[in-house]
Structure 1
Amino acid sequence: MSYLDLARGRYSCRSFEDRSVEQAVVDAIVEAGRIAPSACNNHPSRVMVLDTPELLEKAAACQPRFARDGSIFGAPLIFLICSVTEDAWVRPYDQMNSSEIDTSIVCDQMMMEATEQGLGTCWVCHFKPEVAQEQFNLPEGVYPYHMLVCGYPADHIADSEHREARTIPLSDFLLK
């Protein structure tokens, strides 16, 4: 499958089968994140695998609005993607810290590998970071940016016409 086919086939899945994800699949997703590029090769990203009922319940506590069946959207697997912000590259001109960018690249690569492995995914940023820090006892200086919710999908992708209608037109996407 080409990368564009993979990218077109990925969607935000919010309904999952009640079955766990095999360890080999989890390992492949983690590896995709581990090898992600980062600014100045600093690699500030850190990932926590949430795959037990206790850990999934803690993830759901970070955003109760999405809680379902003891997890977020009932998913059997969530990756909490964090950054050691002091390890990230900082742009000297305006002090922009690359943590958000670096963790986004990690999350994206993991999301696409999960899709390649036949999983549904949903990239969740709408959660309370301070609750995640407390729930997962994150060390000082480790900031949670994203949750990548994964599992075998129990729903279907929208038809291509519906998806195209929700995508930005190329004429708007390209700046001139």
Structure 2
Amino acid sequence: MSYAELARARYSCRAYEDRPVEAEKLAAILEAGRIAPSACNKHPTRVLVCDTPRLREKAATAAHHFAKKGSVFGAPLVLVVCDKMGAAWLRSYDQMNSGDIDSSIVVDQMMMQAEDLGLSTCWVCHFDPRVAIDELGLPSDLYPVHMLTVGYAADRIADPEAREARTIPMSEFRLTV
């Protein structure tokens, strides 16, 4: 499958089969995130694997709007992606911190690797970081930025016309100056 086909096949899955993600697939997903580029190779991203009922329930407590069957969207696997405080590169001109960007690249690479392995994902940002810190017992130097649910889809991607209707037209996306 070409990258363009992979990108078009990927969607935000919100219902999962009650089937675990195989260890070798999880390892490949984590490796895709580990090798993701980061600003000045600082690699400030850390990932907590929530693959037990207890950890999935704790993740779902933080993302309570999406809690389903003891997990986030009922996923058998939730990856909590964190920024290691003080580890990211800072842009000297305005002190912009690259941590959010770096962790987004990690999630993107893990998400596309999962899709390539026949798994589905949903990138979740609507959760309470304070609740995630408390529930998951994260160290004080880790701040949760994203969750990525992973598993075998129990729903289906919308048809191409419906997807296109929700996508920004190229005429608006591409700027001309």
Shorter-chain TM band: over 0.9
CA distance in 2, matches of 1:136, 1:67: 16
Question: Shift of residue 138 of structure 1?
Answer: 1.1
2:152 is the alignment partner of 1:152: yes
SS at match of 1:87: coil
Partner residue, 2:123: 123
Deviation string 1:53-94 (CA, Å, 9 cap, x unpaired) is 000000000021111100011000010000112010000111
Listed one character per residue, the Cα deviations across residues 78-136 of structure 1 (whole Å, up to 9, x for unaligned) are 10000112010000111111010000000000000011111111000000001111111
SS of residue in 1 equivalent to 2:137: coil
Counterpart-to-counterpart distance in 1, 2:103 and 2:85:
10
CA distance in 2, matches of 1:50, 1:141: 19
Which residue of structure 2 aligns with residue 4 of structure 1? Answer: 4
Q: Return the alpha-carbon distance in structure 1 between the equivalents of residues 11 and 133 of structure 2.
A: 28
Question: Residue 86 of structure 1: SS of its match in structure 2?
Answer: coil
What is the correspondence of 1:17-28 to structure 2 with a 5 Å cutoff?
Answer: 17-28=17-28
Give TM-score scaled by structure 2 length: 0.98
| C-alpha separation in 1, matches of 2:15 and 2:83 | 28
Number of the residue aligned with 2:63: 63
Is the 1:100–1:145 Cα contact (8 Å) retained in structure 2? yes
| Distance across 1 between alignment mates of 2:150 and 2:125 | 14
Amino acid at match of 2:165: A
Report the number of matched residues.
Answer: 176
Question: Residue 42 of structure 1 corresponds to which residue in structure 2?
Answer: 42
* Gap runs ≥5 in structure 1: none
Unpaired stretches in structure 2, ≥5 consecutive residues: none
Pairwise CA distance, 1:156: 0.7
Q: Distance in 2 between matches of 1:131 and 1:67?
A: 14
Query: Which segments of structure 1 move beyond 4 Å, counting only runs of 4 or more?
Result: none
What percent of counterpart residues are identical? 62
Equivalent position of 2:103 in the other structure? 103
The two structures, once aligned, show a CA RMSD in angstroms of 0.6
For residues 80 and 138 of structure 2, the distance between their equivalents in structure 1, rounded to whole angstroms, comes to: 11
Shift of 1:140: 1.3
Which residue of the partner structure matches residue 89 of structure 1?
89
Shift of 1:147: 0.2
SS at match of 2:86: helix
- The one-letter amino acid of 1:16's match is Y
- How far apart, in 2, do the equivalents of 1:160 and 1:89 lie? 39
Query: Counterpart of 1:78 in 2: which secondary structure?
Result: strand
How far apart are the structure 2 equivalents of 1:140 and 1:68? 28
What's 2:167 paired with? 167
